[in-house]
Structure formats: C-alpha cells, structure tokens
Chain A
C-alpha cells in the first residue's frame, strides 16, 4: 500500500470513530457498563505505546541495564502524579533524560 493510501485510510478510520456516534447513536445503545469500560480505553492503549518505547532498544530487544529512559520515565511519572500537569510531566522527563545522558 502506498503512503498516501495508508494516510487516507488512517484518516478515514479516525474520522469514522468520531462521526459514527454523533450521527448514529441513540442514547439507549450505550448503557453505563459500556461507558465504564470505554473510560478505561486510554489506560489500556497508551501503555502499549509507552512501555515498548522505554524498554525496547533500537534492535528490538528488552533493555533494562544502562537504560536512562527508565529512570527518566519514573521521574516524569511522579512529577505527573503530584503536579497533574501534562506539560510538567513531559518537560521533567526530557530534562531528566538529558541530565542522565549528557551530565551523569
């Protein structure tokens, strides 16, 4: 598949998930149970992107020793929990990472 087709299909599926409920839904189709489960979608999906990006190195292997990303991510997580700030989380993580690779 060409890059353009890939972009178009990804755009289409993104749009359809936004449009379908607005256009088609009748309120009673979504009971509280389904709403409750859907509220866990971010917690279920984002770690699948976060964890491999931290623990898996360029050649596809799990790397625990000598991996500054782990400590930087832990620092960012705690800053995030206490500050509840998206921007503080991102910047504390990047700052710790740079400190660990350039200074330590």
Chain B
C-alpha cells in the first residue's frame, strides 16, 4: 500500500502544470477586487472562504455592475453547479471515508484538482487514493491565496491603461478551449453568449448570467436529444 504522503505528493506533482494559469488569474482577482471597492481584508477573505476563481470573478463582475445580493448569490450558485457533477463523479471513490474527510475534501474539490484526480482515482484502487485529491487541492490553495495577496499589494502599482480586466474573459475563454472543437458545445456557447449580451440591459436584476446559462443548457438538452434519435 502506498503511503498517504506519497499519494499526496503525487497529487502535487500531477496538478503543477495546471497551476501556471492560476497565477495570473489570482493576481487579476486581487487587483480587480480592490479596484471594485473591496478592502484588502475582504478580498483575502473571499479567496479563503469561497476558494473558487470563477465564483469570485462573477461576484466582482456583478457587484461592480450594481446587482443585488440575491442575484449575485444565485449567479455564484449557477456558476458552481458544475461542482455537483464533480462531486457526483468522485463520490463513488470516497464513499467509505469518515464524514470529517468528506467535509475536508469538499473544500478542495476545485476544477484543477478534479481534473487530475479523477484520472488518478479511476486507475488506482488504493485505500489512500483520496490523498491525491487533497494534494492537488492544497497546492492550488497555496497558489490561489498567495497570488490573491500579491494582487492586493500590486493593485495600486498596475496602471489601469493596461486593461487587465480583459484578462477575465480571456481566462474563461481559455477554460473552454476543448469545447470549441465540439459542435454542440459551440452552439451552446453562441446561444449563451448572445442571450447574455443582448439581455444585458433588458433582463432585470442583472440576472443575465443565470438566464443565459439556462438558455444554453436548454439548447444542449434539445440538441443532445436529437442526436440520440439520429
């Protein structure tokens, strides 16, 4: 049986390449949060409490646009609904664990850690295999907290002219690179994007993120159903 430490270290090594884009993402978050009007402590607390890049950026985006708290919270929930899928997929590997470990691992169930540990969990049946997920998640945690901190400090030094906020859509674009190759995904992307853009001023309460996402999912439902009949 592999030692817990060994599996933990394997998780760190496996997740490392995925940490490269997290660095600019964390910096950008720190810079923007201060820019939008959060204090340094609130910004740091967001990274510690929420610990989710996409959620935190959506929070900033809607907050700066003057959305109500209810809309912000439900949009964050919508962005997070992908975690339901991650949880469902890894849960079968974690079912024997004590509740305390489930509580700890849930905090670390982020995109990057899921991506690498899902592969590992499928291939390894070792009892300690869940430490791989903890290793990947903890690595990302350290990077995310330290780059948030750096972003807070650097914020004032980065000129607004650079337009760093443009890195936000670019980061999300980058997370979709594999989906651009799939026909149904491309249609879903276009529908959601158009609904958000044209609904931006007309959908009340800045709920355009939720409305666009539902339109996209509905499109996916219809297209995948047709696919099966054919």
Contacts and interface: CB of A to CB of B under 8 A. Distances in A.
| Chain A binding surface, main DSSP class | helix
B85 A41 contact: yes
A70 to B, nearest CB: 11
Given A17-B81, A35-B85, A94-B166, A4 B76 contact: no
B84 A49 contact: no
Interface of B is mostly: helix
Contact residue range for chain B?
35 or more
Contact of A14 (B63, B80, B179): B80
B201 interface: yes
B209 A49 contact: yes
B40 to A, nearest CB: 12
A37 B52 contact: no
Contact of A38 (B85, B165, B219): B85
Contacts of A47: 176, 188-190, 192-193, 196, 212, 216
Interface string B137-178: 000000000000000000000000011011111111111111
Contacts of A83: 177
Nearest to B219: A44
Contacts of A65: none
Interface in A51-79: 51-56, 60-62, 69, 72-73, 76-77
